[in-house]
Amino acid sequence: MKIAFAGFRHDHIFVLYEQAKNHKKYDIVGAFEGDGKARRRAEEKGISFRYSSYKELLADGAVETVALGGAYGDRGKMAIAALKAGKNVISDKPLCTSLSELDEIERLAKEKGLAVSCMFTMRFEKKIVAVKKLIESGELGDIQNVYIGGQHPLQYGRRPEWYFEKGKHGGVINDLAVHGIDILYFFGIEPEKVNAARVWNAYADKERDFKDCGQFMLTAKNGAGVIGDVSYSVPDGAEFDLPYYWQFYVWGTKGVISFSLNEKETKYYVKGEKTPRILEEKPVGDYLTDFLKVVRGDKDAVLSSDEVFLSTRTTLEIQKIADKTER
């Protein structure tokens, strides 16, 4: 797969770049970044730039897939342009910041038979895959209550400056909750109704227009309740090493499991037993290899384009309701 990178405005894209660089079935043919400061920073990290414009990148017939890592508010139109040029798309999350952009992205992808993916890499965490299998086994019974804690550090002064520019971020729920929403679908817990959603400013005291806190309450198709918090509330210092980084509680009629991505061992409890069981975790596949399956149209892909569209749409709808909610 010949892949080109466009936009280096968030650290996630550097991770994807290294993964593609080290993957036997990917060939990086070039990169583009229009912002001078961002380009210099990327060059310091070893990125080599071949294209002088995004138009030039899209005109390169050798490019099969475009990986997007620009400011969130720019990604939708860049994805649309890539699809119009006949390129597959991989985007850092979020894919876009408006439902109208998503409508066009989905339409073009289906019309042209192209693959669109988003870096929903949590689907490829062995702990997440193990919990999915546990839920599907029926050991926890029918899932009725879910809590998602997707709190992140604000890292003010280190976060990209564009986060706080009007029209560039798109909302804390769309930014962070999209991972949690995607995992709900992955677990077979399908959101059906948004009961409440709210965003507000609490931690970014120098950027009062930036809504850094987000919460929501959903009802799933099976009647289960889902409550989530995706605020930039983690204190500086602990940051991504926080023991309960991406924390989930999943309660069923026969048992419960509580887990976070950073914990080494996960326990769960089943009805009638005082002693917890240990979750068995096994190595799983990787995101980029799975994307090749999506491009080929393989039915056993872990993350299809349709699933990307579904998780993105649901999250954008929650964000839209939150934006209308007064504090």
Alpha-carbon distances, residue 197 vs 14, 117, 134, 319 (angstroms): 32, 26, 29, 7
Inform me whether the pLDDT recorded for 293 exceeds 60. Answer: yes
Residues 109-130 pLDDT 10s: 999 999 999 999 999 999 999 9
pLDDT band at 294 (very low <50, low <70, confident <90, very high): very high
**Domain range summary for the chain, segments of one domain joined by +:** 2-119, 122-284
For the beta sheet containing 2-6, the strands, ordered from the edge strand earlier in sequence to the opposite edge, are 27-32, 2-6, 65-68, 88-91, 116-118
pLDDT value at position 325? 79
Instruction: Show the tokens assigned to 3.
Output: 């892949």
Instruction: Show the tokens assigned to 114.
Output: 């192209």
Half-sphere exposure (Cβ direction) of 113: Cα atoms closer than 13 Å: 2
Residue 308 per-residue DSSP state: H
Q: What is the largest CA-CA distance in the chain?
A: 65
Q: What percent of the chain has pLDDT over 70?
A: 99
Alpha-carbon distances, residue 262 vs 131, 154, 244, 265 (angstroms): 14, 19, 7, 9
Mean pLDDT estimate for the chain: 96
Inform me whether the pLDDT recorded for 285 exceeds 80. Answer: yes
Half-sphere exposure (Cβ direction) of 96: Cα atoms closer than 13 Å: 25
Q: What is the mean pLDDT of residues 206-221?
A: 96
pLDDT value at position 326? 57
CB 87 within 8 A of CB 58: yes
Domain 2-119: CATH class, spelled out:
alpha beta
Q: What is the mean pLDDT of residues 70-79?
A: 98
Residue 254 per-residue DSSP state: S
What is 122-284's CATH topology? Dihydrodipicolinate Reductase; domain 2 (3.30.360)
Distance CA 8, CA 35 (A): 9
pLDDT value at position 260? 97
Residues 3-38 pLDDT 10s: 999 999 999 999 999 999 999 999 999 999 999 999
Whole-prediction pTM? 0.96
Residue 135: exposure state from Cβ atoms within 10 A (0-12, 13-18, ≥19): buried
Distance CA 213, CA 198 (A): 8
Residue 70 per-residue DSSP state: S
Residues 226-257 pLDDT 10s: 999 999 999 988 888 888 899 999 999 999 99
Residues 93-109 pLDDT 10s: 999 999 999 999 999 99
Inform me whether the pLDDT recorded for 327 exceeds 60. Answer: no
